[in-house]
Amino acid sequence: MGTDVRSPGAGRGASDGCGLHGHPFGVHPVRTAAAEAIGTFFLVLVIVCTAVAATLDRAIAGAPYGSLAVPLAGGLTLMAVVAALGPVSGAHLNPAVTLGLALNRRFPWNRVPGYLAAQFAGAIGAALTVWALYGDRARATASLGATYPAVRVGAWQGFATEAIATFLLVAVVVAVAADARMPPGAAAVAIGSALAAAIAISGPLTGAGINPARAIGPMIVAGRFTGWWAYLAGPVLGGAAAVAVYEHLLRPARPTGAAS
């Protein structure tokens, strides 16, 4: 059996192993970066468009979006993107996933800069696109869907909320995407559902960043950085903790004599 995301060799920067959803680490970096940028772009675009439309009271057919719109939009989009791009790049689409895996020696560090650059570029591009589509009110009134702490939510409360919500998402990601027995379609549904649940948890308190690229990208374009560090540090901590807990406590034991 080849080295996979669960084997220590992958964490040393091996180029012949496999990552999430079985994507080979040997795929050309430009191809994986393109997949991460495109996937993150559409994930953030859908979430931010939904948030902006709700803030501006833009209706589709009937009443404007309600409170469930963002969790549903994010979860359904993540399902589709994971199913489409998982075999190409692992469909991290989130610096918390990439760094969580790398910090636990489950993803090559030499691939991390390319993944992070692609993810943030995709998110910034999505925010710029929303600005172009919805006009200046999207930036002035809705801050391009950027996430900020709710009233009376302190910085450390926001940090903890982001860490807990991201822990949930990343724990599901590594549990289903690193298990070859999980059908790809089922993995995509589980990951999208986990994002919807994480947004439901954190949305009322922090606006549901859960992803540093999704949070910081719109902040950069909107020019507002309230509580930015919580949306960066919280998800990274939560993601790293989720990978560690899965690896050391939850990962199914391999059969005796199984190859690594």
pLDDT tens column, 133-152: 999 999 999 999 999 999 99
Dihedral, CA of residue 46, residue 48, residue 50 and residue 53, to nearest 10? -140
User: How many Cβ atoms sit within 10 Å of the Cβ of residue 134?
Assistant: 21
Q: Locate all alpha helices (DSSP H) within the chain, ordered by sequence.
A: 29-55, 69-89, 95-103, 112-134, 136-140, 155-177, 184-206, 212-222, 228-245
| Phi, psi (degrees; rounded to nearest 5) at 174 | -70, -30
Number of structural domains found in the chain:
1
Residue 260 forms part of a structural domain: no
* Integer-rounded Cα radius of gyration of the chain: 18
CA–CA gap between residue 151 and residue 226 (Å, rounded): 12
Residue 138 forms part of a structural domain: yes
pLDDT digits (tens, 9 = 90+) for 183-226: 888 999 999 999 999 999 999 999 999 999 999 999 999 999 99
Beta bridge partners, 59, equal 64
The two structure tokens encoding residue 189: 């549904």
Closest CA to 147 of 68, 226, 55, 257: 226
DSSP annotation of 208: -
Q: Is the pLDDT at 255 greater than 70, yes or no? A: no
pLDDT of residue 246: 95
Q: Is the pLDDT at 102 greater than 90, yes or no? A: yes
Closest CA to 97 of 164, 171, 47: 171
pLDDT digits (tens, 9 = 90+) for 109-123: 999 999 999 999 999
Look at residue 59 and give its three-state secondary structure.
strand
Residue 206 forms part of a structural domain: yes
Q: Is the pLDDT at 154 greater than 90, yes or no? A: yes
pTM of the model: 0.89
Residue 256 forms part of a structural domain: no
Residue 218 forms part of a structural domain: yes
Confidence of residue 248 (pLDDT cuts 50, 70, 90): very high
Residue 259 forms part of a structural domain: no
Can you give the residue range of the structural domain that contains 124? 8-250
CATH number of the domain within which 183 lies: 1.20.1080.10
